[in-house]
Amino acid sequence: MSKWVKSLALVAFVATPLAAADLGLGRPATEAEITAWDIDVRPDGQGLPEGQGTAADGEEIYNDQCAYCHGVFGEGEDRWPQLAGGEGSLADETPIKTVGSYWPYVSTVFDYVHRAMPFGYAQSLSDDEVYALTAYILYMNDIIEDEEFVLSKASFGEVEMPNESGFFPDDREAEYAAGEPCMTDCTNGPMAVTMRARVLDVTPETEEQ
């Protein structure tokens, strides 16, 4: 368990609230201001707006606004992110990380599409459109099989993401070598070059090379 997870657990017992200071700086935020900016959504559904949408609704929006970069089937054009496919590939030589194969929470899809998509025209989608697009991305990944399934705040919890249990906390501390490192005769004989960057030749031309 990382130092941070441990210390967080400790904080839960000893923390006292950070008492309000009184420098007289700032002013209270209004409800409308908070509503305008606070659009973040969590895995437990906190932050989800009212509204709803189906994959069938989302397909047209997707084809109009998303497919140009992400591909008609979510396969990703050029180097834009692939959204669908890759199931069962995470332990492969070349894993494919998509919403379906990798993302642990459906809330992340809603939140990200809502705040950052379409690329170059962020926050232009209505809440219903974001529900519909989220449903369609899940449909492309076979996570929703019924294209008329109504995704909403109420039905959100019914969606199960295949890789939700695929993550574990930072445990790098177990990797660190203990003690002083070797200073002399540290390798089994003289070292030789086994691989050269020049063979791949992918470095951008910057100077004479």
Q: How far is the CB of 82 from other proteins (least distance, A)?
A: 11
Residues 136 and 168: beta-carbon distance below 8 Å:
no
- Give the nearer residue to other proteins in terms of CB position, either 160 or 178: 178
Token pair listed for 52: 């709803």
Q: Which of 112, 153, 155, 162 is close enough to bind other proteins by CB under 8 A? A: 112
Amino acid, res. 151: L
Which strand (E) or helix (H) includes residue 179? none
* Residues in contact with other proteins, shown as a per-residue x/- string from 30 to 69 under the rule CB under 8 A: ---xx--xx-xxxxx------------------------x
Q: Is 204 in the site for other proteins (CB under 8 A)?
A: yes
- Give the nearer residue to other proteins in terms of CB position, either 13 or 145: 13
Q: How far is the CB of 147 from other proteins (least distance, A)?
A: 24
Q: Is 15 in the site for other proteins (CB under 8 A)?
A: yes
Q: How many CB atoms lie within 10 A of CB 115?
A: 13
Q: How far is the CB of 109 from other proteins (least distance, A)?
A: 8
- Give the nearer residue to other proteins in terms of CB position, either 124 or 146: 124
Q: Is 154 in the site for other proteins (CB under 8 A)?
A: no
Q: Is 78 in the site for other proteins (CB under 8 A)?
A: yes
Rounded CA separation 23/17 (Å): 18
Amino acid, res. 114: H
According to CB under 8 A, which residues from 114 to 153 bind other proteins? 115-116, 119-120, 122-123
Q: How far is the CB of 153 from other proteins (least distance, A)?
A: 17
Helices 55-65, 127-140: inter-axial angle, 10-degree rounding: 90
Rounded CA separation 172/185 (Å): 28
The owner of tokens 């919890």 is 157
According to CB under 8 A, which residues from 159 to 188 bind other proteins? 166-172, 175-178, 181-187
Rounded CA separation 50/39 (Å): 12
Q: Is 191 in the site for other proteins (CB under 8 A)?
A: yes
Total residues contacting other proteins by CB under 8 A comes to 89
Give how far Cα 174 sits from Cα of 8, 24, 166, Å. Answer: 19, 47, 19
